[in-house]
C-alpha cells in the first residue's frame, strides 16, 4: 500500500467518523484492490460538482466527501455574498442514498446560516434549476449521478441563474472545497429552522411555465388522442411528465408499468440511460403492442430524453440525440415562424459536437445559431450574456439534451417530452410522420449522420491513459480520414484552429477545453473529448452527403454508416 493510501485509511480509522464507517473501512482491508481504489485519491470536485461510486473512502460518494464539498461551497457563497440572507435550493433523484445526501447537504448549508429550500421528495433536475430562478436563490444543488449505473451518485452545483457553475465561480468553488482538509471543519448540524420544504406549489409553477412553451395548443386539442407511451426508467420523470402531458391536453398516455416506480437499483436495466437501446426496450415493446404514435423515455433525474418512432417502413426505431435535436430545433424555429410568434432577434444554441445540420436549418430560416462547449452550463452562460439583446428559443446537444425557452437553465427532459409530443401531433395534423419530416429535411439540407463511441479507462492509470491518447492526437493528428485529407485541426485546449494544408491559424473564441476536432474539406468531422464526469474518452463522428430523394434514404444511409466504420477502423478505435 502506498503512503497516500495508508495515510487516508488511517485518517478514516482514527478520525471523527462514525462507527459504521470505521467498520466498513476495516472490512475493506481484506480486499486490497478495492481499498486502494477507495482511498488512492480524493474524489475530485470538478466544474460540475461530484460524481462517483458510493461507499466509504476519500474516492467515494458518501456523507463525508459530500459534507466537505458542501462546506467549501458554503464558504464561497458567504464570501461572495457578505451580509446577505443567502438562499439555496436542493433537490434529488431516485438513486440509492439520494434523499440522505440531499438532507445532509441541506443540514450543512443551514448550519452555516444559509436558508435552504429542500424539495420534500424526489424531483426532476430541471425543476431544481427552475426553482433557483423562481425563488431568487443564490445557488442550488441536486443529488444525482444522472444516467450512470446504480453504484454511482453525485452532486451537481448550480449558480443564481439556474445554470451549473461556470468561470469564475467553478474554479473558485473548487479552491474552497479543496481547502477543506478535515471532516472536523464541516458544520454538520444546528440550522434546522432554516430548512423550508417545497413541493406542490413549485410543481404548479413549473407546469405553468412548461405550458407556456406550447406553440400550437389548438393542434393538440384536435389530436389529444395521440397515442403516447412513456417510461421514466425508474426515475423522477414519473413525478411530472404525466401531469405535464395532461396539462398540455393529451389524454391517451400509457406509462410503462415495469419502469414506473422510482427505484435506485434500476431493476430492469443496467444503464438507466435513454441513449441505451436496452433501457428503452420495454417501452418499445409496449409501443409496438399499442401501435403508439410516439415513445419517450427519461433518465433518473429527467434531464435526458429519448424517443422512438416508426420509420418509413413502419418499423419502430430509436432516434439518436442529434436526430431528436434536429427535429426539435426545426419545429421550434418553423412553427413559431408560421404562427407569427418568431422575433427578429431569435437565436438558438448548440454544442460543438452536435449536428451541423442544425446550422443549416438556422441559416435557412435566418436565425442566429451559436456553438458552445459541451455541457448545458455553456448554453446557460451564453443566454445570460445575450439577455436583452437576443431572444433564446431552443438549445440542445447530441447527448439527448434539450432546453426549451429560458426559464430552466439546464437540459430539461420534462418540457422536451411535452414539445416532442406536440411535434408528433403537428406532424399528424399535416399528414406526415416525424421520421418522414426528418427524411424531408435530409433532402433539403443534406443527410447528416453522426455516431459516438466511448472508451473507458478505469482505475488509477485510467486518467493518465486518456491524457496520453489526447496528447498523441494533439502532437500527431491524423493526416487522412476515410481517404480524405484532414484540412483543419481545432484544438480547444490551446484555443487555436489550424489549416493543415495552408498553415493558416486562427483563434477559437471559446473557453479552454480539452477537445480536439479533425475536419475534412467535405465536412467530415471527428471530435475527441475526455468525459468530465466519467473515466472515458469519447469520439464523435459526423459525415454527410446529399440525399436526392426519400427513395434513396436507405442507400445513402448505408453509405454513410460504412464511412463511419471506415473512420473507426482507420483510427484503430474498434
What is the C-alpha separation between 446 and 523, in angstroms, rounded? 11
Element (H, E) at 213: none
Is 146 tagged catalytic? yes
What is the C-alpha separation between 425 and 220, in angstroms, rounded? 6
What is the C-alpha separation between 188 and 110, in angstroms, rounded? 9
Q: Which residue, among 205, 233, 229, 41, has the nearest Cα to 146 in the 3D structure?
A: 233
Element (H, E) at 321: helix 321-339
Pairing verdict, β 115-119 and 87-92: parallel
What is the C-alpha separation between 107 and 100, in angstroms, rounded? 10
Output the DSSP codes for 114-177: -EEEEESS---HHHHHHHHHHHT-SEEEEE--TTS-TTEEEEEEEETTSSBP-TTHHHHHHHHH
Output the DSSP codes for 41-90: SPPP-BTTEEEEEBSSSTTSBSHHHHHHHHHHHHHHHHHHSTTS--EEEE
Please, what sign has the CA dihedral across residues 495, 411, 258, 61? positive
Q: How many residues does the chain have?
A: 574
Q: Where are the alpha helices (DSSP H) in 237-320?
A: 241-248, 277-290
DSSP letter at 2? Answer: -
Q: Which residue, among 221, 279, 296, 290, has the nearest Cα to 251 in the 3D structure?
A: 221
* Residue the block writes with cell 419502430: 316
What is the C-alpha separation between 72 and 386, in angstroms, rounded? 31
Catalytic residue among 38, 98, 129, 146: 146
3-state helix, strand and coil shares in percent for the chain, rounded to the nearest 5: 40, 20, 35
* Contact partners, residue 453, CB within 8 Å, separation at least 6: 538, 539, 541, 568, 573
**CA-to-CA separations, 182 to 43, 45, 185, 476, in angstroms, rounded:** 14, 15, 6, 44
What is the C-alpha separation between 347 and 460, in angstroms, rounded? 43
Q: Which residues does the annotation mark as catalytic?
A: 146
Amino acid at each position: 500500500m502506498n503512503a497516500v493510501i495508508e495515510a487516508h485509511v488511517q485518517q478514516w480509522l482514527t478520525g471523527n467518523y462514525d462507527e459504521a464507517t470505521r467498520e466498513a473501512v476495516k472490512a475493506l482491508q481484506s480486499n486490497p484492490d478495492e481499498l486502494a481504489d477507495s482511498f488512492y485519491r480524493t474524489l475530485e470536485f470538478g466544474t460540475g460538482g461530484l460524481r462517483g461510486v458510493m461507499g466509504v473512502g476519500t474516492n467515494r460518494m458518501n456523507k463525508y466527501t459530500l459534507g466537505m464539498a458542501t462546506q467549501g461551497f458554503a464558504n464561497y457563497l458567504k464570501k461572495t455574498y457578505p451580509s446577505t440572507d443567502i438562499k439555496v435550493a436542493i433537490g434529488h433523484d431516485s438513486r440509492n442514498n439520494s434523499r440522505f445526501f440531499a438532507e445532509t447537504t441541506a443540514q450543512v448549508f443551514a448550519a452555516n446560516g444559509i436558508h435552504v429550500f429542500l424539495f420534500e421528495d424526489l424531483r426532476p433536475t430541471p425543476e431544481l434549476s427552475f426553482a433557483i430562478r423562481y425563488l431568487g436563490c443564490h445557488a442550488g444543488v441536486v443529488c444525482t449521478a444522472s444516467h450512470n449505473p446504480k453504484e454511482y451518485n453525485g452532486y451537481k452545483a448550480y449558480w443564481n441563474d439556474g445554470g451549473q457553475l461556470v468561470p469564475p465561480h467553478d474554479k473558485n468553488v473548487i479552491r474552497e472545497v479543496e481547502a477543506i482538509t478535515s471532516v472536523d471543519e464541516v458544520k454538520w448540524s444546528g440550522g434546522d429552522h432554516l430548512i423550508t420544504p417545497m413541493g406542490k406549489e413549485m410543481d404548479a409553477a413549473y407546469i405553468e411555465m412548461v405550458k407556456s412553451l406550447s406553440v400550437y395548443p389548438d393542434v393538440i386539442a384536435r389530436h389529444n388522442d395521440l397515442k403516447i407511451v412513456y417510461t421514466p426508467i425508474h426515475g423522477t420523470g414519473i413525478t411530472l411528465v404525466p401531469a405535464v402531458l395532461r396539462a398540455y391536453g393529451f389524454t391517451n398516455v400509457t406509462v410503462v408499468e415495469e419502469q414506473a416506480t422510482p427505484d435506485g437499483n434500476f431493476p430492469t436495466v443496467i444503464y438507466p440511460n435513454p441513449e441505451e437501446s436496452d433501457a428503452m426496450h420495454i417501452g418499445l415493446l409496449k409501443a409496438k403492442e399499442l401501435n403508439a404514435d410516439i415513445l419517450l423515455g427519461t433518465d433518473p433525474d429527467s434531464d435526458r430524453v429519448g424517443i422512438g418512432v416508426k420509420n418509413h417502413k413502419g418499423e419502430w426505431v430509436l432516434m439518436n440525440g442529434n436526430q431528436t435535436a434536429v427535429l426539435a430545433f426545426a419545429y421550434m424555429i418553423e412553427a413559431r415562424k408560421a404562427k407569427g410568434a418568431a422575433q427578429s432577434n431569435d437565436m438558438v444554441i448548440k454544442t460543438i459536437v452536435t449536428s451541423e445540420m442544425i446550422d443549416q436549418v438556422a441559416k435557412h430560416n435566418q436565425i442566429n445559431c451559436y456553438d458552445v462547449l459541451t455541457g448545458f452550463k455553456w448554453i446557460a452562460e451564453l443566454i445570460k450574456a445575450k439577455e436583452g439583446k437576443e431572444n433564446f428559443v431552443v438549445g440542445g446537444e447530441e447527448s439527448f439534451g434539450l432546453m426549451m425557452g429560458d426559464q430552466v437553465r439546464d437540459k430539461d427532459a420534462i418540457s422536451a417530452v411535452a414539445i416532442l409530443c406536440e411535434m408528433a401531433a403537428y406532424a399528424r395534423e399535416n399528414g406526415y410522420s416525424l421520421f418522414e419530416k426528418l427524411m424531408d429535411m435530409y433532402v433539403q439540407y443534406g443527410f447528416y449522420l453522426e455516431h459516438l463511441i466511448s472508451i473507458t479507462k478505469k482505475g488509477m492509470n485510467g486518467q493518465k491513459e486518456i491524457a496520453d491518447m489526447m496528447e498523441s492526437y494533439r502532437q500527431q493528428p491524423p493526416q487522412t480520414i476515410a481517404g480524405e485529407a484532414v484540412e483543419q485541426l481545432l484544438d480547444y485546449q490551446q484555443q487555436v484552429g489550424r489549416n493543415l494544408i495552408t498553415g493558416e491559424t486562427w483563434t477559437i473564441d471559446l473557453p479552454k477545453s480539452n477537445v480536439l476536432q479533425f475536419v475534412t474539406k467535405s465536412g467530415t468531422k471527428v471530435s475527441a473529448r475526455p468525459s468530465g464526469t466519467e473515466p472515458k474518452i469519447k469520439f464523435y463522428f459526423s459525415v454527410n452527403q446529399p440525399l436526392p430523394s426519400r427513395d434513396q434514404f436507405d442507400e445513402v444511409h448505408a453509405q454513410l454508416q460504412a464511412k463511419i466504420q471506415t473512420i473507426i477502423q482507420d483510427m484503430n478505435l474498434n
